[in-house]
Amino acid sequence: MPASTHADKHPYRQASMSAEHVAEADGNRTRQTEMLGLTGFEDRGAHQDARRLRIELYRVGRTRSFTACAEAGRTADSNDPRSEPSSAQGALTEVSGGNSVVTTAVTARRDRTWLPLPEAGPMRAELFVPPLAFHAEGPVWWPDDGSPVAHTLRYVDMLAGRILTVDPDAFTVGPDAFAAGSRDASTEAAPTPVTPDMVAALDVPGPVAACLRPRRGGGIAVLTEHGLSVSDDPAGGEWTPLVELLTDPDIRLNEGGCDPAGRFLAGTMRYDQRENGATLFQISGDGAVSTVFDDVTISNGIAWSRSGDRAYYNDTPTRSTWVLDWSEDAGLSQPRRLFTLDPDDPAGGPDGLCLDAEDNVWTAIYGGSRVECRDVAGTLLEVVDLPVTNVTACTFGGPDLRTLFITTSQEDLTPGAQPEAGAVFAAEPGVTGVPVTPFAG
């Protein structure tokens, strides 16, 4: 992002940084490079030619956290948009168990361009889970519920009626995970791919597992072919049907998500994908059901802004992502288009979506081999390329919610034509996600 041309404080989006520091403990000096998140601003102050960059760095893991503040200033040509400071000096404190361990000097370097910068070209997602699913969908980063599946990635093999769960050990941050040289100096690294034996499968009632969410009081809720079932055991135990939504065998549930009040918004589609033949339902925690929309075609991703007053929704054949007003009393209202794919774009349309901590919308483009990130105005900020065509959904996860996990599908492909279709991919776009909202039932 170019430097500001105004004499005021200009906020930047989060970007990837490294902080190199020399720690001294017990007489030993250790040089480490930590990949950290940041917020920063440029403050030109009273002098038009002086640019100052303040950087606040942090990294939070299971056992360690780092905080730092650093500032840098230099005189620069006010007509040069690339002249903002790229590094800063400050102090870094390592904290363990609530106690300060060591405070050291730190040099923070801007390792990648500020977001957004679409003209810099798309990033590329890397393989994370091999293609164990035919139609992988609905990824969720499971919260810290004290269960064996806490802090891990879960998703569905939709048309096989299975929930797939990655072994939480795949995300364990060891003491040397961020040692010097463990990550590329120019970008954050995606997590190490897992092997098939690190993924467990859980059958749901019926042939379809459409969408899963944690429950507010503990346990798991899953949309099946025609209804919503729950279990008190997040890892999977005895299923209890909560509500039946459909009786027509030609229609199934497809995708959903929970609103800020904890109500499950559950969308459907016809197997023949007939136009306007689907519905978006709302399921309250007590099992009460109401209809939100009854004229959609393929109801897909839905997610809410951090403030909760806006929702983003995909009815895939419209080729648009929609933004709607939301309140607990009125529900969804005032739909308007956030963006629409170009007429000459061969992609099928927007599929699953999620939001980051800045309310940017990350949308899987089915049939388009990509995830797009757009701001609240619909402006394209980032593109994540994938080596397969059918990109179905995405979510932020990992210990710090900074990894974008992306599901894909083998649907409508010639067998063997795209060997990685059905896999889960991962990318590190340099932003932070938000925790999943649980179901109130």
- On whether the CB atoms of residues 93 and 102 are closer than 8 A, the answer is yes
Biggest CA pair distance of the chain: 73
Question: What is the reported pLDDT for 64?
Answer: 28
Q: How far apart are CA 311 and CA 332, in angstroms?
A: 8
Q: How far apart are CA 369 and CA 294, in angstroms?
A: 30
Read off the tokens for 303: 């997610």
What is the pTM (predicted TM-score) of this model? Answer: 0.73
Query: Do strands 50-60 and 153-157 pair parallel, antiparallel, or not at all (unpaired)?
Result: unpaired
**Per-block average pLDDT, block size 10, for the chain (441 residues)?**
28 35 40 38 32 34 33 35 41 39 41 34 88 98 96 98 96 45 38 92 97 97 98 92 97 98 98 97 97 97 97 97 97 97 95 97 98 95 96 96 97 95 96 97 94
CA distances for 107 relative to 1, 33, 56, 191, 364, angstroms = 22, 10, 12, 25, 37
Amino acid identity, position 94? E
